[in-house]
Amino acid sequence: MSLEDVENIKKRIENFKKTLMELTEAPVMTETAEHKVREMSAEVVDSNPYSRLMALQRMGIVKNYEDIRKYTVVVVGVGGVGSVTAEMLTRCGIGKLILFDYDKVELANMNRLFYQPSQAGLSKVTAASMTLTKINPDVKIETYNTNITLTTQFEEFLNVLKTGGINGERVDLVLSCVDNYEARMTINTACNELGLKWFESGVSENAVCGHIQYIVPGESACFACAPPLVVASDIDEKTLKKDGVCAASLPTTMGVVAGLLVQNTLKKLLGFGTVSWYLGYNALSDFFPSMMIKPNPNCSDNFCLKQQSEFKNRVKEEPECTNVDPLEDVVTHENNEWGISLAEDEPIVSNNITELVETETSKTENVNKNNSIKSEEEYLSLNDGIEFAYQSGDQTAPNEESLVKETELSVDDLREQLSLL
């Protein structure tokens, strides 16, 4: 069999795979479309996929969880971290999810999460879209099999960020889950140009460290403000890769980083908790460093410098808060199904201030007196069934015979007397 015959067979196999996918995908889409949920409900029944998510609202964590359907999130890179990130957001019921990737699913990806061996050969965005739609048909999935680092495709990426929102507005958040610096710099440039907030994430080559970073153009450091050595030295990453050598990969580390990324995404979108500016993860010591990196006034990205200037102007224009009324204590669960209630302390009102002060002073003296004047019997009294493990020492005053009397003998004389005993 010639090489040409082998190539023809491979092409026929690929065509059969595509045809089989199309035939199996259509009925599944029709079937799942019937199960779409129009409104999120907090009703606790087995058929409600959102009951446990809506419980966050009932418990006072979020004000209105259903707001999550208003947001559009872009995930760039649907690999080890990005695919799990997309799955978590889909299960949380995000309104719209836009996926960018140009790679294909390989059997070498099976050590990670999400993808299945039967999806090998498909583009990652296609395979991800099929799986995510089955998980939650309520989420609108939009895919782009695009390499955003190419000049010809960067404009398409920029346009999606501008108009990819649910109602044609710009997207709400961008999540970078790529594995190379070139793609990170591309996302950084686009978000700086649009003033768009985004999260950067990554896992180290030894698979035991990772991080996420929340970037607000002008307010925090962008990716170009403090670039890695490879970027700062203008080294081509492709020249660093060697044949037969690959980076390590652990699904555990990628799952942790994806979890941190989605957790902070939810906090940012739904307005609860504190969003981490930078959060690292070291699996060897379970260390989670956190910090905030300020922007570099000498950043090489002109859009970043422009955003820094605009941010400073916004801060100057903000009025100072004066005469702020103190916040009143509000009972969060005034009415609840468990019947728990909080009783307020009634203040003691007295017409005579002097009388009130004397009363409080008298109470304090009585307490001190009661605490200090207690007989030994009161201290040593025990309840029935309890006894001391050992007898306390004799607390009575020592008699004269037990005291050591003064002597003019030297130490040597005392030692001599001891030796005779």
d(CA 151, CA 149): 6
Of 53-57, 92-96, 363-367, the range with the lowest mean pLDDT is: 363-367
Is 60 exceeded by the pLDDT of residue 235? yes
Is 90 exceeded by the pLDDT of residue 148? yes
CATH of domain 71-317: 3.40.50.720
Name the more confident of 96 and 377. Answer: 96
Confidence (pLDDT) at 26: 43
Token pair, residue 266, equals 């939810």
How do the domains of the chain map onto residue ranges?
41-66, 71-317
Confidence (pLDDT) at 30: 37
Is 50 exceeded by the pLDDT of residue 31? no
Q: Most distant CA pair in the chain: distance in Å?
A: 118
d(CA 232, CA 240): 15
d(CA 375, CA 420): 46
d(CA 184, CA 212): 13
Token pair, residue 316, equals 């100057």
Token pair 């990205």 is found at 301
Confidence (pLDDT) at 367: 47
Is 90 exceeded by the pLDDT of residue 321? no
Is 60 exceeded by the pLDDT of residue 133? yes
Q: What is the mean pLDDT of the chain?
A: 81
Is 80 exceeded by the pLDDT of residue 383? no
Question: Could you tell me the pLDDT band of residue 33, with boundaries at 50, 70 and 90?
Answer: very low
Q: Which residues are catalytic?
A: 246
What's the whole-number mean pLDDT along residues 65-88? 96
Token pair, residue 415, equals 């030692």
Q: State what percent of residues in the chain have pLDDT above 90.
A: 52
